[in-house]
């Protein structure tokens, strides 16, 4: 038996009606200790740590690298109940955030380790045995890096502080970065193309999307709102408020590489053409599955493609999906789960086959086509080729990095730091080392 947690699929600050769902993760019952913690990762809530890991300034201004472990004080950890579960913890109770973030990470790893075919081996394994998961309420971001995954909060203009530890999308996205670094690796100095950074964000968005689709409530909610016409999500202005999966909106976009040939500012924006192409591939495979099952006709599937660009076709398409879904909703669920698993398998196999040096989106497209040939004999080749070509992927490439997006970019963030990067920093004087040691010991 696994261990039970309560997880929000849609964070409570986005939807007041949202309630945490009880899930069972693969951690064997009674295998987790206070934290939560196991032999691969552990949660801490540091006391006095106001900023994330990364390059810091010493007491006299010399830059230095701050990486795990955190050796200062911590809040009381979350404890399992008498049977070894954590689902007794409710949102109002101390320890719930720690339990929630651990549960989200373990749930996401469970999903993706099945697609990858083996447990994830951390990319920091040469220096750390376990991933340190930190909750930093006063920090306005989240990041995965060498030995750590840190989550902060979103600060609203009305004064509300919204903890990312309760946001499944944010946490699962950071797990996506962990998967990339651990499977694909880190580019050698001088070999990092702009599209590698975009790939990091696109793949991590897909990790979140596919993981969330393993909650039955997500599948039920998306289908009840769209009746299987998934492109409708882009036209529901309030979709994120009543869907337990927000990522579907950013995935359903029309951005192309033509927008970035003269340069780019933010790799999150640069990722959108690739994310959109993968989402379209998932939807088209879903439609093909519906046709193969006799749930919609080929004519309806063709009309749905037209409706992406012709508003006059939207109403007939939705009417056809409404009628088809009403006849066999369970068939739609099965078709969507099949499409989800094809997309997850293809993404995982693509990741295994790629190399980080000089990676661009064209490599991703070519590799996914090769995966399709190996997995299905090329069953979805036309879908994959058409959707990547529609975005200009493989034909157009990102230009230079422009000024203006530094506040959101990870180009110089702690995410890409490695211990060897300490050699690039100036040496700190003995006096400054002593002052820094005293400062750290007082935290």
Best CA proximity match to 108, nearest among 211, 11, 223: 211
How many angstroms separate the CA atoms of 308 and 317, rounded?
Answer: 10
Q: Would you call the peptide bond into 69 cis, given omega within 30 degrees of 0 as the criterion?
A: yes
- State both tokens at 149: 């995954």
The total of other beta-carbon atoms located within 10 Å of residue 47's CB is 11
pLDDT given for residue 236 in this prediction? 32
Segment 254-276 mean pLDDT: 93
Residue found by looking up tokens 């007041």 in the block: 16
pLDDT given for residue 238 in this prediction? 29
How many angstroms separate the CA atoms of 387 and 278, rounded?
Answer: 8
| Domain boundaries defined on the chain | 1-183, 193-412
Please give the mean pLDDT across all residues of the chain: 89
- Of 67-81, 89-103, 184-198, 362-376, the one with minimum mean pLDDT is 184-198
pLDDT given for residue 225 in this prediction? 85
Q: Would you call the peptide bond into 178 cis, given omega within 30 degrees of 0 as the criterion?
A: no
Q: CA geometry: angle at 1 spanning 344 and 204, to 5°?
A: 25
- Confidence band, pLDDT 50/70/90 cuts, at residue 249: low
Which of 365 and 414 is assigned the larger pLDDT? 365
pLDDT tens readout for residues 29-78: 999 999 999 999 999 999 988 789 988 888 888 888 888 999 889 999 99
pLDDT given for residue 221 in this prediction? 86
pLDDT tens readout for residues 235-245: 332 233 334 44
Complete DSSP assignment for 273-303: HHHHHHHHHHHHHHHHHHHHTTSS-HHHHHH
Task: Please give the CATH architecture assigned to the domain spanning 1-183.
Answer: Roll (3.10)
Q: DSSP letter at 157?
A: T
Segment 382-397 mean pLDDT: 95
pLDDT tens readout for residues 310-355: 888 888 989 999 999 999 999 999 999 999 999 999 999 999 999 9
Q: Which long-range contacts (CB under 8 A, 24 or more apart) does 252-256 make?
A: 252/276, 252/279, 253/279, 255/391, 256/390, 256/391, 256/392, 256/396
pLDDT given for residue 322 in this prediction? 94
Whether 169 shows a pLDDT value over 70: the answer reads yes
- Of 7-16, 40-49, 55-64, 191-200, the one with minimum mean pLDDT is 7-16
pLDDT given for residue 235 in this prediction? 36
Complete DSSP assignment for 12-65: TTT-TT--PEEEEEEEETT--BTBTB-SSEEEE-BSS--S-SEEEE-TTS-EEE
pLDDT tens readout for residues 290-309: 999 999 999 999 888 888 77
Whether 408 shows a pLDDT value over 70: the answer reads no
Segment 373-393 mean pLDDT: 96
- Decide: residue 438, CB within 10 A, 0-12 exposed, 13-18 middle, 19+ buried: exposed
- Confidence band, pLDDT 50/70/90 cuts, at residue 405: low
Q: Hey, is 125 helix, strand or coil?
A: coil
Segment 94-112 mean pLDDT: 98
Segment 173-183 mean pLDDT: 95
Residue found by looking up tokens 């050699």 in the block: 423
């Amino acid at each position: 038996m696994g261990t039970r947690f309560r997880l929000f699929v849609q964070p409570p600050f986005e939807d007041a009606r949202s309630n945490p769902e009880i899930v069972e993760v693969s951690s064997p019952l009674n295998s987790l200790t206070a934290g939560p913690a196991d032999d691969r990762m552990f949660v801490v809530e540091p006391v006095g740590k106001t900023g994330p890991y990364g390059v810091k300034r010493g007491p006299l201004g010399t830059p230095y690298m701050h990486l795990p472990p955190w050796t200062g004080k911590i809040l009381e950890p979350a404890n399992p109940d008498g049977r070894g579960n954590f689902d007794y913890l409710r949102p109002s109770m101390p320890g719930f955030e720690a339990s929630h973030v651990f549960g989200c990470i373990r749930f996401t790893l469970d999903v993706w380790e099945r697609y990858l075919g083996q447990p994830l081996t951390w990319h920091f394994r040469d220096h750390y045995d376990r991933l340190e998961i930190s909750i930093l309420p006063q920090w306005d971001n989240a990041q995965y890096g060498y030995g750590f995954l840190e989550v902060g909060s979103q600060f609203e203009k009305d004064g509300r502080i919204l903890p990312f530890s309760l946001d499944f999308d944010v946490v699962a996205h950071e797990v996506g970065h962990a998967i990339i670094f651990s499977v694909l690796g880190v580019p050698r100095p001088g070999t990092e193309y702009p599209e590698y950074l975009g790939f990091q964000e696109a793949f991590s968005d897909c990790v979140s999307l596919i993981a969330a689709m393993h909650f039955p409530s997500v599948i039920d909610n998306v289908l009840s709102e769209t009746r299987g016409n998934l492109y409708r999500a882009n036209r529901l202005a309030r979709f994120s408020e009543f869907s337990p999966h927000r990522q579907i909106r950013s995935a359903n976009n029309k951005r192309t590489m033509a927008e970035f040939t003269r340069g780019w500012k933010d790799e999150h924006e640069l990722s959108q053409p690739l994310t959109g192409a993968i989402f379209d591939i998932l939807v088209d495979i879903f439609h093909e599955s519906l046709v193969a099952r006799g749930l919609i006709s080929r004519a309806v599937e063709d009309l749905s493609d037209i409706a992406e660009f012709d508003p006059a076709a939207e109403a007939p398409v939705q009417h056809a999906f409404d009628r088809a879904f009403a006849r066999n909703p369970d068939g739609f669920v099965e078709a969507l789960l099949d499409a989800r698993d094809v997309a997850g398998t293809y993404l995982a196999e693509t990741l295994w086959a790629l190399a980080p040096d000089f990676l661009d989106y064209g490599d991703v497209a070519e590799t996914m086509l090769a995966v399709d040939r190996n997995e299905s004999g090329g069953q979805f080749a036309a879908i994959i080729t058409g959707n990547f070509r529609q975005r200009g992927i493989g034909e157009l490439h990102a230009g230079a990095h422009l000024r203006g997006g530094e506040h959101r970019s990870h180009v110089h963030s702690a995410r890409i730091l490695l211990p060897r990067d300490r050699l690039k920093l100036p040496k700190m004087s003995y006096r400054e080392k002593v002052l820094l040691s005293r400062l750290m010991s007082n935290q």
